[in-house]
Amino acid sequence: MIGVFDSGIGGLTVLADLERELPAERLVYVADQAHAPYGDRPAREVVERSLTIARGLVDEGARLIVVACNTATIAAIGALRLDLAVPVVGVEPAVKPAAARTRSRVIGVLATAGSLDGAKFRGLVADHAGDVRVLTQPCPGLVEQIEAGDLDGPATRALVEQFTRPLVDAGADVLVLGCTHYPLVRDLIEAVAGPGVLVIDPGAAIARRVREVLAGDLRPGPGSVELRSTAGCDLDGLYRSLKR
């Protein structure tokens, strides 16, 4: 079994890539919606929630944990790797591929404040951006809109316009989705950015990394997906729509 968790529904985008890459695996997804969003919570609390969920999944038999949340990766992946006896794969903003593909030498990163504020993100930029200018844009309120199920309403469209337009106007020709919730409004972001701007989300790369880590321990199947929410929400309909 592979355990996957996020503060809410955003990690379902990663889960869909994992299912495509590893169709024979049993995947168990936990959306910690009773404590979402993580981006507004103290790092200590994010670490505590991450440990609680991951330990529970390992106790059930998970042989690898995917932290399908940028904020939790930054705050908790070190503690998870020290605490757990199984591999832990996290997510991080795709600065390296964005820097490799920009023509204008300007990229934009859309993320929560919690993901952008810290040494881990600064180190990512220092290691991989080179001479590329990296513009960062916190997106307060966007995760909450997505968690509420408003993926294309006027309020969500206004937030996407507010956060995306300044990056494009400043010359960014590649946008990095630095929160796993944001692929759920990718169509809106691409519409605001325009056809000349590439939008990158890390889901497929995470799935490939999990396959690499499990290379000697892949299961024959049949695969399955189980969805759980700490708030008791039904995630099945949304997940089915992601795979169409």
User: Does pLDDT of 243 surpass 80?
Assistant: no
Considering the domain architecture, whether residues 123 and 80 belong to the same structural domain is answered as no
Which of 53, 69, 172, 200 is catalytic? The answer is 69
What confidence tens digit (pLDDT) does each residue in 188-231 have? 999 999 999 999 998 989 999 999 999 988 888 789 999 999 99
Considering the domain architecture, whether residues 188 and 213 belong to the same structural domain is answered as no
Considering the domain architecture, whether residues 196 and 101 belong to the same structural domain is answered as yes
What one-character-per-residue DSSP string does 179-195 give?
STTGGGGHHHHHHHH-T
Whether 69 sits among the annotated catalytic residues: the reply is yes
Which of 62, 143, 168, 179 is catalytic? The answer is 179
For the whole model, what pTM was predicted?
0.89
Considering the domain architecture, whether residues 120 and 153 belong to the same structural domain is answered as yes
User: Does pLDDT of 156 surpass 80?
Assistant: yes
Please give the Cα distance from 3 to 130 (Å, whole number).
35
Burial of residue 48, with CB atoms counted within 10 A of its CB: 0-12 exposed, 13-18 middle, 19 or more buried: middle
Look at 175-179, 215-219, 240-244 and tell me which has the smallest mean pLDDT: 240-244
Q: What percentage of the chain reaches a pLDDT higher than 70?
A: 100
User: Does pLDDT of 244 surpass 70?
Assistant: no
Give me the phi and psi of 145, to 5 degrees please.
-60, -45
Considering the domain architecture, whether residues 86 and 104 belong to the same structural domain is answered as no
Task: Provide the residue type at 69 as one letter.
Answer: C
Q: Which two tokens stand for residue 229?
A: 């929410």
Considering the domain architecture, whether residues 182 and 133 belong to the same structural domain is answered as yes
Domain count, the chain: 2
Q: Which two tokens stand for residue 80?
A: 């998870």
Considering only CA atoms, which of 205, 206, 211, 202 is closest in space to residue 25? 211
Please give the Cα distance from 150 to 94 (Å, whole number).
25
Considering the domain architecture, whether residues 196 and 208 belong to the same structural domain is answered as no
Map residue 122 onto helix, strand or coil: helix
Tokens 């995760």, residue located: 143
Cα angle 50-125-209, degrees, rounded to a multiple of 5 = 50
Considering the domain architecture, whether residues 183 and 163 belong to the same structural domain is answered as yes
Considering the domain architecture, whether residues 195 and 218 belong to the same structural domain is answered as no
Parent domain of 167: 95-200
User: Does pLDDT of 117 surpass 80?
Assistant: no
What's the CATH number where 196 sits?
Answer: 3.40.50.1860
Considering the domain architecture, whether residues 82 and 109 belong to the same structural domain is answered as no
